Chain A
Amino acid sequence: MDTLQLLQHYWWAIISLLGALLVFLLFVQGGQGLLYAMGRSEAQRTMIVNALGRKWEFTFTTLVTFGGAFFASFPLFYSTSFGGAFYVWTLILLVFVIQAVAYEYRRKPANIFGERTYNAFLVINGIAGALLLGMAVATLFTGANFTVDRLNLADAGGNTTISQWTTPWHGLEALADYRNWALGLAVVFLSRMLALHYFLNTIDDDDLAERSRRRSLCAAGAFVTAFLVFLVSILLGSGMRATADGVIVEEEYLYLHNFIAMPYLAVMLLAGVAAVLCGVWLGWRGSRKAIWWSGSGTVLTVFALLLAAGWNSTVYYPSLSDMQSSLTIANSSSSEFTLTAMSIVSIMIPFVAAYIWYAWRSMNRTRITRQEIEGDDHLY
């Protein structure tokens, strides 16, 4: 493996890790989606919103960084997917825009639209945000309808667009693939389960704890069902791989082969699934530790899946319109110089993780109660 290939693999790993952390942090969305189902009284809704409101920025920032890192390391994906699946990405943006203001404005006097509108923003973001992101990530496995020809730029006065979508639906056609729905729904139910585990950990309220315990099992059941449909369909289906000379070919059982070829990923996947199942069990028992098991399991599982989608010469964004336009980490990455510059900066990531952990720990020492919320200076 030469230096460029090494850097491409490294940056795919960073993006996969960011994606995995993002899926875990979607517990904020999961909790928002449960705002009315869990918060039966105003006091309970306030506790839920404030428990989530102290973390929403992390999810948002991780999403932005995920996008920025993808742009930086694999710009051809950014230009192809975002410029092509226009409707889907615009919808995702819209549901995240309404979230950003909802926390800060919902309880502020003179907020014009009333608390219920901002609560509705949170619920919409909580369900649609997780579903759409899950479906968008699923297309990394199931593909999309695009063509890529960099030399289109030479067609001055004509059609200069490098990446073109081949359907007028601009991403909405992904709704027709059951596998995209399966992963989208899996992410929705996973985020709800994680949120319930987070409530168990953070909110000190007997009524909420009991309902979180009971509901977490239902969410877990729905998640496991949807996730299994996706995982089995992917493992038993075909995918695309680049040959040594860069030609894209179709391969049966591609992802299964990848897990066999990279057994450490299979171990990571199985460890992740086991940790999530352990979290499910602890959640059912009402343990405060459930979130750490289900959360770390989620990160491991998604990390392993995304690595399997990009490593081992795998096509990580298959084109359903023109196989040779499909994107691999080799044909869509930034240059060696840029990846090296970014890698030097990435040395700071452990430091960033350390201060996030320290700040998070400092803030979470006290659990959220009705009294604690009432005494807070900055109430959402």
Chain B
Amino acid sequence: MNDFLQTVDWSRAQFALTAIYHWLFVPLTLGLSFMIAFMETKYYISGDEFWKRTTKFWMRIFGINFAIGVATGIILEFEFGTNWSNYSHFVGDIFGAPLAIEGIMAFFMESTFIAVMFFGWNKVSKGFHLASTWLTAIGANLSALWILVANAWMQYPTGCTFNLETVRNEMTSFWDVLLSPVAIDKFTHTVTSSFALAAAVVIGISAWYLLRGRERKMARHSIAIASVFGLVFSIVAAFTGDRSGAVVAKYQPMKLAAMEGLYDGEQGAPLTVIGIVRPEEERTSNDDAFYFKIDIPKMLSVMSFRDSEAYVAGINDLLDGNPEQGIMSAEEKMRRGRVAVAELERYKEAKTAGDEEVIAKVRRKFDPDTPEGREFLSEYFAYFGYGYIATPEELVPNVPLLFYSFRVMVGVGTLLILAFALVWWLNRRDRLADKRWLLRCLILLIPLAYLASQAGWIIAEVGRQPWAIQDMMPVSAAASRIGSTSVMVTFFIFLALFTALLAAELSIMFKQIKIGPDNEKR
């Protein structure tokens, strides 16, 4: 492997590392901020000091998480530039706008009002403090909106056109970018599942207090809020997840096929509930992809296309093509992509030579206002990214990782819905504290919720490999040209730093839970 390809791999590893660590802290703050706001609202309405004390305790947990979330977040933003410079240029015109709006609208709201939320108890009125807590929650979730819109565009580039002169994609419709089906589902699914995770954390910590026989009132009231919050949003997350599956089937069929380990497309395709995937060298068709599996007949077709007889494309269809189903082969896409890249090269040579005739010809091909341009853009440039792909096999993401991640995410998500419903019901009847086995299970639910949340991002990001931008730019054409050793060194520096900070964060968090709501300084 040459040095640049190693650089690409290390850059991917570094970005994945940062994203994984960042996402350990963000989902809790997204959901917890709203639960804190509910609690403070109760304090504002009732004037009961119990609610103030409860709010402050959860606020402390929020603050510990928030700090490290901020630390890892800044690196993600700047890594787009440091490690993915071609990507930054290629999409800056589209990706930059949501980021700038995020900065202006969300970051300042969050950072301004979080200071009031933490330090303003004795300095501002109760009403202003409550408003600040709500605005912090809204700001945090608005931040998520804009970055998720940007991520959704990478999965489904829309609302843009290629500009030959600037050699990049340029936005033509802000609303198409903001309101694309992928963006809507990505935001709603990510945020609602984060709310469910936060609810699981609140319930798990409260369960620990009940097990210890401490802070029973706070634990019970926290569970009452978190179980309803978690139940509502985990059900919404299930619906939005279902919609996301349908959107993936439409716009990223290879991701869906890899998630299901589906090699040969089928009409009335079954959904595999569980299974064990065979090693890569043994997998060639549906018959030899699994050691064993349990299917639900036709379910994949229903989930993907809302039609039990719909055809779901498999990996082999997408690689070899399936004319009957109108699926183009990977080789053909690569050929067309190379034609598009070659036109760009011709343009470069003509510009160097000052050949105005060729320059004019190429410009016509990239002009969406002419029939010739429209044809070239839809028939060839639509496959531009395939021009950088060396072999069709590169187009297949990691099947086992996606297959298992999807099952973990859905399995834990289902478990969360059941757990929230059961906890809400038992807590309402004041019978939860007696169920010690259940309380222990609720504590175990916390790491499971995190695992599911991470699994969701693995599906989203590993599933779109090799693309930095779906069909437009593979990661190999997106990376900065830095020595692989440099990126490897920064990878290990970040790994050591984040791990140390995570250890500190967990240690502080456990200690604060142990101390309880009374005295954080003890």
**Which A residues are within 8 Å of any B CB, using their own CB?**
54-55, 57-58, 60-61, 63-65, 67-69, 71-73, 75-76, 78-84, 86-87, 89-90, 93-94, 96-98, 100-101, 103-105, 107-113, 150-151, 153-157, 159-165, 168, 170, 334-335, 337-338, 341-342, 345-346, 348-349, 352, 355-356, 359-360, 362-363, 365-366, 375-379
Enumerate chain B residues within 8 angstroms of A153, measured Cβ to Cβ: 86, 90, 167, 341, 344, 477
B78 within 8 A of A: yes
Given A65-B108, A105-B508, the answer on whether A97 and B72 have CB atoms closer than 8 Å is: yes
- Of A84, A155, A356, A378, the residue contacting B118 (CB under 8 A) is A378
- Of A100, A112, A365, A378, the residue contacting B70 (CB under 8 A) is A100
Contact B67 A101 (CB under 8 A): yes
Least distance between A147 CB and chain B CB atoms (Å): 11
The 8 closest A-B pairs by CB, nearest first: A75-B92, A83-B85, A82-B81, A72-B96, A65-B103, A72-B100, A100-B71, A83-B480
Contact B504 A112 (CB under 8 A): yes
Contact B67 A71 (CB under 8 A): no
Enumerate chain B residues within 8 angstroms of A83, measured Cβ to Cβ: 81-86, 88, 480-482
Enumerate chain B residues within 8 angstroms of A157, measured Cβ to Cβ: 388, 390
Least distance between A354 CB and chain B CB atoms (Å): 11
A-B contact pairs, 9 of them (CB 8 A): A61-B110, A71-B92, A83-B481, A105-B64, A110-B511, A113-B500, A345-B104, A359-B113, A377-B118
Which of B121-129, B237-245, B288-296 is the contact stretch? B121-129
Contact B515 A156 (CB under 8 A): no
Enumerate chain B residues within 8 angstroms of A379, measured Cβ to Cβ: 521
What is the CA–CA distance of A302 and B76 in the complex, to the nearest angstrom? 28
Enumerate chain A residues within 8 angstroms of B492, measured Cβ to Cβ: none
Least distance between A270 CB and chain B CB atoms (Å): 30
Contact B86 A64 (CB under 8 A): no
Enumerate chain B residues within 8 angstroms of A109, measured Cβ to Cβ: 508, 511-512, 515, 521-522
**Which B residues are within 8 Å of any A CB, using their own CB?**
56, 59-60, 63-64, 66-68, 70-75, 77-78, 80-97, 99-105, 107-116, 118-124, 128, 132, 163, 166-168, 170-172, 174, 338, 341-342, 344-345, 347-348, 351, 387-388, 390, 477, 479-483, 486, 490, 493, 497, 500-501, 503-505, 507-508, 510-512, 515, 520-522
What is the CA–CA distance of A62 and B242 in the complex, to the nearest angstrom? 38
- Of A73, A86, A93, A363, the residue contacting B124 (CB under 8 A) is A363
In the complex, what residue of chain B is closest to A57 when comparing beta carbons?
B111
Contact B99 A111 (CB under 8 A): no
Given A101-B71, A110-B510, A359-B116, the answer on whether A160 and B477 have CB atoms closer than 8 Å is: yes
Q: Could you say which of B67, B82, B112 has the most chain A C-beta atoms within 10 Å of its C-beta?
A: B82
Given A65-B107, A154-B348, the answer on whether A82 and B85 have CB atoms closer than 8 Å is: yes
Given A356-B112, A376-B119, the answer on whether A104 and B67 have CB atoms closer than 8 Å is: yes
What is the CA–CA distance of A61 and B109 in the complex, to the nearest angstrom? 10
Contact B96 A73 (CB under 8 A): yes
Contact A159 B481 (CB under 8 A): yes
Contact A64 B481 (CB under 8 A): no
Least distance between A174 CB and chain B CB atoms (Å): 16
Q: Could you say which of A154, A159, A363, A365 has the most chain B C-beta atoms within 10 Å of its C-beta?
A: A154
Least distance between B299 CB and chain A CB atoms (Å): 41
Enumerate chain B residues within 8 angstroms of A112, measured Cβ to Cβ: 500, 503-504, 507
Q: Could you say which of A61, A111, A352 has the most chain B C-beta atoms within 10 Å of its C-beta?
A: A61
Contact A71 B497 (CB under 8 A): no
What is the CA–CA distance of A68 and B85 in the complex, to the nearest angstrom? 14
Enumerate chain B residues within 8 angstroms of A103, measured Cβ to Cβ: 67
Enumerate chain A residues within 8 angstroms of B68, measured Cβ to Cβ: 100-101
Contact B486 A87 (CB under 8 A): yes
Given A79-B86, A79-B88, A338-B94, the answer on whether A348 and B344 have CB atoms closer than 8 Å is: no
What is the CA–CA distance of A355 and B124 in the complex, to the nearest angstrom? 14
Enumerate chain B residues within 8 angstroms of A72, measured Cβ to Cβ: 92, 96-97, 99-100
Given A71-B88, A76-B89, the answer on whether A363 and B116 have CB atoms closer than 8 Å is: yes
Contact B111 A93 (CB under 8 A): no
Enumerate chain B residues within 8 angstroms of A375, measured Cβ to Cβ: 122
Contact A161 B100 (CB under 8 A): no
Q: Could you say which of B63, B64, B74, B522 has the most chain A C-beta atoms within 10 Å of its C-beta?
A: B74
- Of A54, A68, A107, A362, the residue contacting B77 (CB under 8 A) is A68
Given A64-B107, A67-B77, A362-B124, the answer on whether A161 and B118 have CB atoms closer than 8 Å is: no
Least distance between A101 CB and chain B CB atoms (Å): 5
Contact B94 A150 (CB under 8 A): no
- Of B92, B119, B163, B511, the residue contacting A363 (CB under 8 A) is B119
Q: Could you say which of B60, B92, B351 has the most chain A C-beta atoms within 10 Å of its C-beta?
A: B92
Least distance between A52 CB and chain B CB atoms (Å): 12
Given A75-B92, A151-B351, A161-B481, the answer on whether A359 and B85 have CB atoms closer than 8 Å is: no
What is the CA–CA distance of A155 and B347 in the complex, to the nearest angstrom? 12
Enumerate chain B residues within 8 angstroms of A82, measured Cβ to Cβ: 78, 80-82, 85, 88
